[in-house]
Amino acid sequence: MSYGPIKALRGVSIEVNEGEIVVMIGANGAGKTTLVETILGITPVEKGRIMFMGEEVTQKKTEYVVASGLCLIPEGRGILPLMTVMENLQLGAHHFKGDTSKNLELIYRCFPVLKERSKQMAGTLSGGEQQMLSVARGLMSAPNLMMLDEPSLGLAPTVMKDLFRTIGELNSTGYTILLSEQNACQALRYAHRGYVFETGEIVLSGTAEELMHNQRVQQAYLGGVV
Amino acid sequence: MEIFLAQLINAIALGSVYALLVTGFNLLVVVGGIFPFAYSHIVVLSMYMCWFAMKMTGDNAAVGILAGVLSGTAFSFITEPVFRPLAKRGAVLGSFIVAMALSLIITEIMAQKLNMGIVISFPQTFQGKEALIQFGTATVTAGQIATIVGSIGAGLGFFYLLYRTKQGRAFRAMGQSPFSARLLGIPIVKTRIYAYLIAGLLGGISAVFLAMAIGTASSSLGDNLALKVMAVSMLAGVGNLGGGLVAALILGLSEGMVLAYLPGDWSQAIAFGMIMVVVMIRPKGLFGTMA
Amino acid sequence: MSLSLYYYFQLTAIFIMLGWTLYWIYRIGQLNNAPIAIMAIGAYLSSYAVLTWGWPFAAAFAFAVICGAVFAVIPALGLGRAPAFAMVIATIALIFIMQTVFRNLPWFGGALGLFGIPKIKNLLWITYGFLIFFGILIYRFDHSRLGRAADIVFEDRDVASTLGINIYLFSVCLQVMTGVMGAVAGVLYAFTIRTVIPVYFGFPFLLAITTFIFVGGYTTMWGVIVFTPILWGIPLILPESFAAYRNFIYGVLLMGTLLLRSEGAIDRRFLRWLRIHAEHALDKLTHRWKKLNHVRG
C-alpha cells in the first residue's frame, strides 16, 4: 500500500508490505492520526492516491475501505462503553462474512480476560482491558491491514509491554500492522520499518534498526539512550 | 370501581400507543440524528391513508391496516433525504425547524385537500368496540385489547431487533458514537435509511392502533400528537428508549384519568404543563438523555 | 388611508416586532417561542380591560404589558439553563397552554373570543413608534459588547462561559425583554384587528413568524424588516385560491431556505457587501460633486 501527499500533511508517502510491522513515530499533532484517518476515508484527500491490495481506494467511503480489509484501532480506544464486551466484538465483525467463532478463539487466546468479561459493559473495563478490547474488535474482522493509532496511550508500563508483545505475536501469525506511536522505544523494537513524522512531513525513514541507531531519532524520541 | 378499571384499561391502551410512537421518535433522534417533529404528522397522514383505503374497499379492515402501515413506512422513507444534509452537519435545531415546516405542510394538506378538511371517523367495526370482557358495568373492548397486545408485540419485536440483531447493534453504535460506528465500517447513510424505514413502520402500526383507540382523525391531530410525543420524550429524556416507554405509560395514564373528570381540552394542557415542569426542574428528563 | 393599506402597515409592523423577538433570543442560540404566548396575554388582557372595565387605552396597554412582563419572568427563570430543544418544546407547549387557558376561562369569550374592541386614534403612529424604539434597542444591542457576547455564545457556549459570560442571566434578560415586546405586539394586534380569538395565537402563526425570520435571515435584524412585508404582503394580493395555500408556501419556503441557504436571504456577508458598495457609490457621488463645485468656483 502506498500513499501520497494531502492537506495538513505535505508530501507524505508511505508503504506497507504484507507481513510487516511499519511504525510511524512522531510527536502529537505531527500528522500520524490525520494520515490514518485519511486512509480510512474520514478525512478527504486533496492530492495523491491510496492503493490497497492493488486497488485504488482514494475517494471511497469508509465503509468500503473497511470492508476491503482495513481497520483502524483509534486513539482513545474507540469502543462503545454502553455496550457489552461481546457486543463490541460482534460489531467488529460487522463486515466479516462467515463464522466468527475462529476469530473469537484467537482473540480469547490473546486476551483471556475478555472471555471472562464478555457480558460486562465495556465502559466498566480498565484502561488496559479497553485497549485490548479495541484491538480484539479490530481482529474480529480478520483484517488484511490493521492500523493502530497510539495504542499505548494512557497505559501502565507493564500493560504496554504486554500489548506490544501481543502485537508482535499477531504479526508473526501473519497480520500486517501499521502502528503510530509516540513511544518510539518499544515500537521500534518490534517493527520492521519506520517513518518519522514532524509537523505534517516525513523527515526520516528506514528499517527499524537504522532508525534506532539514528542520532536524531535517539535524541528526539529515545531519550538519548537506546 | 369498575368504571375506574375501565378507565384504567383505556388509559393503558392509550399509553401503549404513545409508547410505540415515542419509540419510533426516539429511534429517529438517536440514529437519524434529527429532531423529528413531523413524525406524528406522518402518522396521522397514514391514518388518513388507512381511512381512504377502507372507504375505497368497503370498509375492508385488512386493506386499511395494510395501507396504514405501508404508507407510514413509505412517507418516513421519503423524508430521509430531506434531513440528510442536516443530520450530516449535526444541525439538530435546524432539523427541528425543518420538521416544523414539514409538519405545517402536512397539516395544510390534510386540512385543505383530504376529505375537504372534515374530520374523518373510522368505522365502528374497525374500532373494535365490541365488548370482549365484562366485569360488572364496565367492559373491555376488542379494540383496546388489540391495541395493547399489538403495541406490546410491536414493541417487543423492535427491542428484539435492537438488542439481538446485527442491524440493531449498528443502530445503537451509531446512536452512541457516529465516529466509532464509521470506523467499524457501518454504512452511515444506509443505516439511517433503515432507521427511517423502521420508524415509519412503527409509525404506521401506531396509526392503525390510534384509529382504533381514538376513532377519529383531523388535521389538528398531528400537532396534538406531536406535542404529546415530545412531552413523553422530554419527560423520559430525549433518545432514551426504555425511559420513553415508562413515560409514555405515565402520560397515557394521567391523560386517560384526567379525561374522565375534566373536559378534553384541559387534559392536554395538563400534559403540557407536565412538560414545562420537567423541563424546568430536570431538563435532561427523568431518566437522562442519550443525546 | 384605505382600510386594507392600514391593516397592511399595522400588521407588517407588528409581525416585524414579533420576528425580532425570535431573532433576539436566537442570537444566543435559543429558540424561544414564548413571545407568541405572551402576545395572547397582551391581546386578551388589554381588550378585556377596555371592554369590560372601561379603562382608557393607555391604562389597559400598560396593564397588559406589565402582566406580560411578569408572566415572562417565570418560564424565563426555569428555561434559561435548559438545553436548546427543551426550550423550543416547552415554549411551544406554552403557546398551546395559553390558547387552552384563554379558550376555557369564562371571561374571555371562549372560542368566539372578544370582539367590538374600540378603534384607537393614531394607532399607526403608536405602533411605528414602538417599532422604531425596539429597532433602535436591537440595533444598539447588536453593535455593542452585548451583541458580540451573544455572537460568542451562539458559536460556542462553553467558550463563552469560560470568558465569564453569564449565559443564564443573558437568557433570562432576553426572555423578559422579548416577552415585553410580545405583549406590546399583542395589544397593538388586538386594537388593530379589533377582535381577539384564541386561534390567532397558535402554531400556524408561530410558523409564519418563524418563516419570516429564517427566510429573511436570522443573523441580522434586517432580514425580518425586508422579508416580512414581502412574505406577508404577497399572499394578500394574490387571488383567493392561492391565499389558502399561504401556510403551505411558508412551510415550503422555510424548508427550502434551511436546506439550501441556511442563514437566510440577508446574512452578514450580504450586509457587508451592501455597505462596501454603498460606500463606493457615496464616494463617487461626493467626488463628482466636489469636481462640479471646483469647476464652478
Label residue A7 by pLDDT band (50, 70, 90).
Answer: very low
Chain B: nearest CA to C256, how far in angstroms? Answer: 9
β-pairing verdict for A2-3 and A145-149 = unpaired
Report d(CA C143, CA B285) in Å as an integer.
Answer: 38
User: Cβ contact (<8 Å) for B185 and A74?
Assistant: no
- Is residue C202 within 8 A of residue B111, CB to CB? The reply is no
Comparing alpha-carbon positions, the chain B residue that sits nearest to A79 is B180
Q: Sign of torsion, CA B255 B261 B267 B273? A: negative
Segments in chain C forming alpha helices (H): 3-26, 34-52, 57-79, 84-104, 123-142, 145-155, 157-162, 167-193, 203-216, 222-237, 240-243, 246-260, 268-296
Half-sphere exposure of B122 (CA within 13 A, CB side): 31
The HSE-up count of residue C36 (CA atoms within 13 Å, CB side) is: 29
C30 and C122 in a single domain? The answer is yes
B176, B179, B187 member nearest A63 (Cβ): B187
Q: Are residues C33 and C113 in the same domain?
A: yes
β-pairing, A50-52 with C195-196?
A: unpaired
Overall domain count for chain C: 2
Residue the block writes with cell 463563552: C160
Identify whether B288 is part of a domain: no
Give the count of beta carbons closer than 10 Å to the beta carbon of residue C230: 13
Beta strand pairing call for A70-73 and A145-149: parallel
* Burial class (CB within 10 angstroms; exposed 0-12, middle 13-18, buried 19+) of A68: middle
Q: Which chains touch C (3 or more CB pairs under 8 A)?
A: B
| Chain B closest-CA separation from residue C93 CA (Å) | 6
In the DSSP assignment, the letter for residue A6 is B
- Indicate which CATH number applies to the domain containing C56: 1.10.3470
Residues C175 and C283 occupy one common structural domain:
no
CA–CA distance, A196 with A212 (Å, rounded to integer): 11
pLDDT at A3 over 70: no
Q: Is residue B187 predicted with pLDDT exceeding 80?
A: yes
What is chain B's mean pLDDT, rounded?
Answer: 84
Q: Residue A2: which pLDDT band, with cuts at 50, 70 and 90?
A: very low
Q: Do B96 and C251 lie within an 8 Å CB cutoff?
A: no
pLDDT tens, position by position, A12-22: 777 788 888 88
Mutate which of B82, B104, B265, B284 to disrupt the C interface (most C C-beta within 10 Å)? B104
- Does residue A121 fall inside a structural domain? yes
C57 plus C79 within the same structural domain: yes
Interface with chain B: mutation pick from A63, A68, A89, highest number of B CBs within 10 Å:
A63
Number of residues that this document lists for chain A: 226
In a domain, A95, yes or no: yes
The dihedral over CA atoms of A161, B179, A42, A169, expressed in degrees to the nearest 10, equals 20
3-class secondary-structure state, position C92 = helix
Please check whether residue B235 lies inside any domain of the structure. no
Angle between the N-to-C axes of helices B188-214 and B142-164, in degrees from 0 to 180, rounded to the nearest 10? 170
Torsion of CA B80, B85, B91, B92, to 10 degrees: 0
Query: What is the number of other CB atoms lying within 10 angstroms of the CB of residue C272?
Result: 10
| pLDDT for A13 | 76
Question: Among residues of chain B, what percentage have pLDDT more than 70?
Answer: 89
Q: Specify burial of residue A99 (Cβ count, 10 A radius: 0-12, 13-18, 19+).
A: exposed
Q: At B12, list the grid cell.
A: 393503558
Phi and psi torsions of A214, nearest 5°: -75, 135
- Tens digits of per-residue pLDDT, B3-32? 777 778 888 888 899 899 999 999 998 898
Q: What is the pLDDT of residue A9?
A: 65
Interchain pair A94, B180: CB under 8 A: no
Whether residue A129 is predicted with pLDDT greater than 90 in this model: the reply is: no
Task: Determine the pLDDT at residue C181.
Answer: 95
User: Could you read off the pLDDT of B198-250 as tens digits, one per residue?
Assistant: 999 999 999 999 988 888 888 888 888 888 888 888 778 777 777 888 888 88
Cα-to-chain-centroid distance, residue B256: 17
Question: Could you give the CA distance from residue B2 to residue B134 in angstroms, rounded to a whole number?
Answer: 10
Same domain, yes or no: C167 and C291? no
Clarify whether residues C201 and C275 are in a common domain.
no
CB atoms within 10 A of CB A211: 25
Q: What is the pLDDT of residue B264?
A: 65
- At B132 the pLDDT is 67
The residue type found at B139 is T
> How do A55-56 and A50-52 pair as beta strands?
antiparallel
Same domain assignment for residues C97 and C226: yes
Please list, in sequence order, all residues whose beta carbon lies within 8 angstroms of the beta carbon of residue A220, skipping any fewer than 6 positions away: none
> Which of C79, C247, C290 has its CA nearest to residue C178?
C79
Residue type, A205: S
Q: Residue C68's closest CA among C169, C188, C177?
A: C177
DSSP tag of C119: P
- How many angstroms separate the CA of residue C125 from the nearest CA in chain B? 34
What DSSP string runs through A145-208?
Answer: EEEEESTTTT--HHHHHHHHHHHHHHHHTT-EEEEEES-HHHHHHH-SEEEEEETTEEEEEEEH
Q: Which of B197, B252, B249, B226 is nearest to B39 (CA)?
A: B226
Query: In this complex, which of B108, B268, B279 lies closest to C251 when CB atoms are compared?
Result: B108
Q: Which residues contact C240 (CB under 8 A, 6 or more apart)?
A: none
Structural domain contains residue A226: no
Residue A66 · residue A40 · CB < 8 Å: yes
What are the cell numbers at C236? Answer: 394578500
- Domain span at residue B66? 2-222
- The conformation of residue A222, written as its DSSP 8-state character, comes to S
C-alpha to C-alpha distance for B102 and B39, rounded to whole angstroms: 10
Residue range B115-140, pLDDT digits in tens = 777 888 887 777 776 666 666 666 77
Residues C76 and C141 in one domain: yes
Element spanning A23, H or E? strand A21-26
Query: What is the DSSP track for A115-146?
Result: HHTTTSBGGGS-HHHHHHHHHHHHHTT--SEE
Sign of CA dihedral B278, B280, B282, B285: positive
Burial of B58 by CB count in 10 Å (0-12 exposed, 13-18 middle, 19+ buried)? exposed
Q: What are the phi and psi torsion angles at C201 (to 5°)?
A: -100, 45
Tens digits of pLDDT across chain C (297 residues): 678 888 889 999 999 999 999 999 998 888 899 999 999 999 999 998 888 888 888 899 999 999 999 999 988 887 877 777 778 888 888 888 888 888 888 888 888 888 888 888 888 899 999 999 999 999 999 999 889 999 888 888 888 888 888 888 899 999 999 999 999 999 999 999 888 888 888 888 998 999 999 998 888 888 899 999 998 888 877 777 776 788 888 889 898 888 888 788 888 888 888 888 988 888 888 888 888 887 765
pLDDT of A178 above 80: yes
Least-confidence region, from A71-80, A147-156, A214-223, C132-141: A214-223
Q: Which subunits sit against A, judged by 3+ Cβ pairs under 8 A?
A: B
Residues C245 and C190 placed together within one structural domain of the fold: yes
User: Does one domain contain both C93 and C218?
Assistant: yes
Number of domains in chain A: 1
Residue range(s) defining the domain that contains residue C155: 3-265
Distance from CA of C146 to the nearest CA of B (A): 23
Q: Is B81 on the interface with C (CB under 8 A)?
A: no
- Cα dihedral B146, B151, B157, B160 sign: negative
DSSP letter assigned to residue C195: E
With 0-12 / 13-18 / 19 or more C-beta atoms within 10 angstroms meaning exposed / middle / buried, residue C181 is buried
Nearest to C244 by CA among C236, C252, C254: C236
- Per-state percent for chain B, helix, strand, coil, to nearest 5: 80, 5, 20
User: How confident is residue B197, by pLDDT bands cut at 50, 70 and 90?
Assistant: very high
Beta bridge partners of C238: none
- Residue-wise pLDDT for A200-218, tens only, equals 777 788 887 887 788 777 7
* Structural domains in chain B (count): 1
SS3 B139: strand
Pairing relation of β-strands B131-135 and B138-141?
antiparallel
Is B97 within 8 Å of C265 (Cβ atoms)? no
CA pseudo-torsion sign A76, A80, A82, A83: negative
Chain B contact set for A78 (CB, 8 A): 177, 179-180, 183
**CA-wise closest residue to C38 among C130, C175, C131:** C175
| ipTM of predicted assembly, 2 dp | 0.81
The verdict on a CB contact (< 8 Å) between A141 and B179 is: no
CATH code of A139's domain:
3.40.50.300
Domain range holding A113? 2-221
Residues 6+ apart with CB under 8 A from C130: C17, C184, C188
What pTM value is reported for the model?
0.84
The pLDDT of B258-283, averaged and rounded, is 71
Residue A176 belongs to a domain: yes
